[in-house]
Amino acid sequence: MGTCNRGFVQMGFAISMIIIAISGVSLVGADSDKEIVVKTVKGHKVCDQGWECKGFSKYCCNQTISDLFQTYQFENLFSKRNSPVAHAVGFWDYKSFITAAAIYQPLGFGTTGGKLMQMKEIAAFLGHVGSKTSCGDGVVTGGPLAWGLCFNKEMSPSQGYCDEYYKYEYPCAPGAQYYGRGAIPIYWNYNYGAVGEGIKEDLLNHPEYIEQNATLAFQAAMWRWMTPIKKGQPSAHEAFVGDWKPTKNDTLSKRVPGFGTTMNIMYGDIICGQGYIDPMNNLISHYQYYLDLMGVGREEAGPNEVLTCAEQVPFNPSPKSTS
C-alpha cells in the first residue's frame, strides 16, 4: 500500500434519500437490453434503469457508468494488476466495480452532469484508487501508472492500528487487525467502524471482509467518496462535480470545486497544503493518465488551481491518534 497510513479522519454521515410520490409512469426504450422507466415526481423527472440505477432518481435518467465505461476500459486502466508480480492477482475485476457502483449511481456517482462530467468523475475516483493501490514505483514495464490495483492490502503491517481512544464507540475486536485494506485503503478501528456503518457490514469484527471481497472493497471506497468527513463539509463527489458552493472561507483557503479539493477531503494535510509533494503528484498523474486512456484527454482536468491542492488549506487536521 502507499505510504499514507492516515487517510481517514472521523467520519460524518450523510444519508441521501429519494422521495417518491408517484404520478405518471412511462417506459422509454433505450438500449435494446435496457429499459428506462420514467415518471414525474412533483414536477421533476425521475427514472429507474433496473439493477444498475434503481429507485427512481433524477440521476438514473442519465447514462449509467456501464454505458460509458466498459470492461475493456477497466482492463486498459489496470492492465498490470494480474501480472505474476502483482500482489492481488485475480482479486479485482470490472464486475465488482460495477456491482458496487450500482449502489451509488442513484445518488449521483458517475451519473451527474452529463457524459463529460461522468467520465471525469469515474477517472477521478479511479485515480485515487489507482494511486493508493499501485506497486508501480520504480518499475519499468508498462510505466509506473499501469500498476493500479496491484494491492488489496498492506503487505507488512507494522502494527494492528487499534486506537484505544475510540474503545467505546469503535472497540477493537480481539485479534482483529485494522491494517490498510481496500481500493482506497482503510486503516484504524475507528475508520473500519465508520465505514462499516456506512456500508452496513460489521467491519469492526470482520475487517478481513475488505480483503476477501472486491465488491465490498469498492463499495467502501465509493461510500468514502460520496460521504462528507464532517457535517457541513462537501463530500469528494460533491466537490468534484460542483454540487458544492465554496464559502468565503473556502475561497480564502483556495478550496475550489475540482480534483484538488477531493484530495483535501480524503487526505487533508497528509497530501494538501504542502506544495508539489510526490504523493499529491502521484494522485494527479493517475487521474490524468486515466483521462487520456478513457479518451477524455488530460486537458479536461482544468488548470492547476483546480487540479492540485498544493496551496490549499486542509479542511481537517490529521488525526492525533497515530503516534
Ligand X SMILES: *[C@@H]1O[C@H](CO)[C@@H](O)[C@H](O)[C@H]1NC(C)=O
Residues engaged in binding ligand X (CB under 6 A) = 58-59, 62, 112-114, 213, 215-216, 249
User: Measured from the CB of residue 207, what is the shortest distance to ligand X in angstroms?
Assistant: 14
Q: Decide if 162 contacts 113 (C-beta within 8 A).
A: no
Q: Decide if 122 contacts 99 (C-beta within 8 A).
A: no
CA distance 126 to 123: 5
Q: Which triple of cell numbers denotes residue 259?
A: 480534483
User: Measured from the CB of residue 319, what is the shortest distance to ligand X in angstroms?
Assistant: 18
CA distance 67 to 64: 5
CA distance 75 to 82: 10
User: Measured from the CB of residue 303, what is the shortest distance to ligand X in angstroms?
Assistant: 23
CA distance 126 to 205: 28
User: Measured from the CB of residue 116, what is the shortest distance to ligand X in angstroms?
Assistant: 9
Instruction: Give the nearer residue to ligand X in terms of CB position, either 158 or 249.
Output: 249
Q: Which of 41, 40, 63, 119 is nearest to 49 (CA)?
A: 63
Closest residue to ligand X, Cβ-based? 114
Residues facing 27 on adjacent strands: 37
CA distance 171 to 205: 9
User: Measured from the CB of residue 64, what is the shortest distance to ligand X in angstroms?
Assistant: 11
Instruction: Give the nearer residue to ligand X in terms of CB position, either 217 or 294.
Output: 217
Which H or E run contains 78?
A: none
Q: Decide if 287 contacts 297 (C-beta within 8 A).
A: no
User: Measured from the CB of residue 265, what is the shortest distance to ligand X in angstroms?
Assistant: 15
Helix then strand then coil, in percent of the chain rounded to 5, is: 40, 5, 55
